[in-house]
Amino acid sequence: MLFSEIIKTVLINMRENKMRVVLTALGIIVGAITIIFVLGIGKKSTLDIEEQYKNLNVKMINVMQMGGRMFGGPSTKQVRFSKDDATFLMQDAEYLDDVEAILTENSSITYNKETASYSLYGVMDKYAEMNNYEMQYGRFISAEDDAKKSKVVVLGYDTAEYFFGENFADITGTDITLSGKKFEVIGVLTRKGETTIDEAVYIPYETCKKYIVGSRGGMTRIIAFATDVKNVEQAKEEILTKLGTKYDSNTLNVRDAGSRVTSAIESANTMTLMLMSVAVIVLIVGGIGIMNVLLVSVRERTKEIGILKAIGTRKKDILKIFLIEAIFISVGGAVIGVCISLILVPVLAGFGIGVVNSSDDFFIAVAFSLITGVFFGYYPAKKASDLKPIDALRYE
């Protein structure tokens, strides 16, 4: 039979059994919606993670010292990082773009009789650039500031806002007091939306060492940047090897920022995969529904199949008639599922359930439904086409 005539036959059959077609399609509709939502939720959580870590430079590697303090031992035994280590790491560095030494302190800031406590970072000149910080006003700390141990300060946005009020004007040149010493504001960072950055102040490393931490020495952290995302592992290796010559390598902890994102995305993917298997199970149940209905249909139409065979309808045409019916039901169900999803997504968004779908997801849902239809439709169709004409005709 011609394909168009087979389709016509199938459509006539489906029209005569509307209710059954709809009930069969229901399983597929639910399955398709599930797939679309699972993919959408998965995509949303990945996007959330990316958003959360978007300020993170994935080339960044944190070098920390562990030991003494954690176990309450005497800190005098501990050899602390210093700015020299940064210079040392950069010597003949193969995979390192830059190494920053940072002194972290808490500092009381006073301006206009107002005093508050903020995190204070003693940083080197490339710190802002490496972290993609942008300037709202003024400039960042320069190498010269560091070398001269100038008493200059760059304010995080929220810090500036606290002292100078909302929508503060360019405040560069103003003097403020840090831990009792007068500093000149040379710049303000653009707001990042992260408190650790926005609620802080930045001064030159050497200045911090000299005027803030003084003889206590302070805690120096080292942050390195790999030459390329692909080289992060080699860079970590390089740091460990080099610092291992100066420090007990057991106390060194080297962690890259990228691995945090990666593991977050991985766990989101695992979640998606789990949800996806639920969706697949729903579809399989839908598929079994199709098979069930088609098997009943083959039995109901046994006599008809016998008549078709008696007038010489080929096996493969009978197979096609049943298989195409299964495909129509499954693809039709999937398309209805896609339409329902399109309506449901904004509704769910209204309830705060984030689902982000791309056209791929709809395609995947239809494709999966099609596969289900073919897979579960084949057996009944084969069964119908393999009937012997005499047996089919005798069936009542």
Report residue 173 as tokens.
């040149």
CB of 262 to another protein, least distance (A): 58
Residue 139 in contact with another protein, rule: CB under 8 A: no
Tell me the site size for another protein, rule CB under 8 A. 24
Residue 390 in contact with another protein, rule: CB under 8 A: yes
Give the whole-angstrom CA distance, residue 129 versus residue 134: 8
Rg value, the chain, Cα: 34
- DSSP 8-state code for residue 93: -
CB of 303 to another protein, least distance (A): 8
- Type of residue numbered 93: A
Residue 5 in contact with another protein, rule: CB under 8 A: yes
Give the whole-angstrom CA distance, residue 84 versus residue 165: 39
For another protein, give the closer residue by CB, 149 or 303.
303
Residue from 67, 138, 354, 389 touching another protein (CB under 8 A): that is: 389
Only one of the segments 5-13, 38-46, 54-62, 130-138 lies at the binding site for another protein (rule: CB under 8 A); that segment is: 5-13
Residue 236 in contact with another protein, rule: CB under 8 A: no
For another protein, give the closer residue by CB, 4 or 167.
4
C-alpha separations of 68 from 72, 83, 95, 250 in Å? 6, 21, 30, 12
CB of 381 to another protein, least distance (A): 17
Give the whole-angstrom CA distance, residue 69 versus residue 87: 26
Nearest to 125 by CA among 86, 96, 91: 86
Angle of the 232-244 helix axis to the 83-90 helix axis, nearest 10: 120
CB of 23 to another protein, least distance (A): 19
CB of 359 to another protein, least distance (A): 36
Site map for another protein, 76-105, x if CB under 8 A? ------------------------------
Binding positions for another protein, 266-305, rule CB under 8 A: 303-304
Nearest to 63 by CA among 91, 94, 89: 89
CB of 317 to another protein, least distance (A): 7
Residue from 22, 58, 261, 393 touching another protein (CB under 8 A): that is: 393
Give the whole-angstrom CA distance, residue 365 versus residue 375: 15
Residue from 4, 91, 250, 359 touching another protein (CB under 8 A): that is: 4
For another protein, give the closer residue by CB, 230 or 315.
315
Residue 12 in contact with another protein, rule: CB under 8 A: yes
Binding positions for another protein, 300-359, rule CB under 8 A: 303-304, 306-315, 317
Report residue 78 as tokens.
């501990």
Give the whole-angstrom CA distance, residue 119 versus residue 115: 13
Neighbours of 98 (CB within 10 A): 20
Nearest to 233 by CA among 46, 58, 52: 58
For another protein, give the closer residue by CB, 212 or 323.
323
For another protein, give the closer residue by CB, 3 or 363.
3
Residue 19 in contact with another protein, rule: CB under 8 A: no
Only one of the segments 8-16, 102-110, 128-136, 221-229 lies at the binding site for another protein (rule: CB under 8 A); that segment is: 8-16
DSSP code per residue over 97-164 = EEEEEEEEEEEEEEETTEEEEEEEEEE-TTHHHHTT--EEEE----HHHHHHT--EEEE-HHHHHHHH
Residue 7 in contact with another protein, rule: CB under 8 A: no
Nearest to 217 by CA among 84, 85, 82: 82
For another protein, give the closer residue by CB, 1 or 374.
1
C-alpha separations of 154 from 63, 171, 197, 279 in Å? 24, 11, 11, 53
CB of 313 to another protein, least distance (A): 5
- Type of residue numbered 102: I
Which residues contact another protein (rule: CB under 8 A)? 1-2, 4-5, 8, 12-13, 16, 303-304, 306-315, 317, 389-390, 393
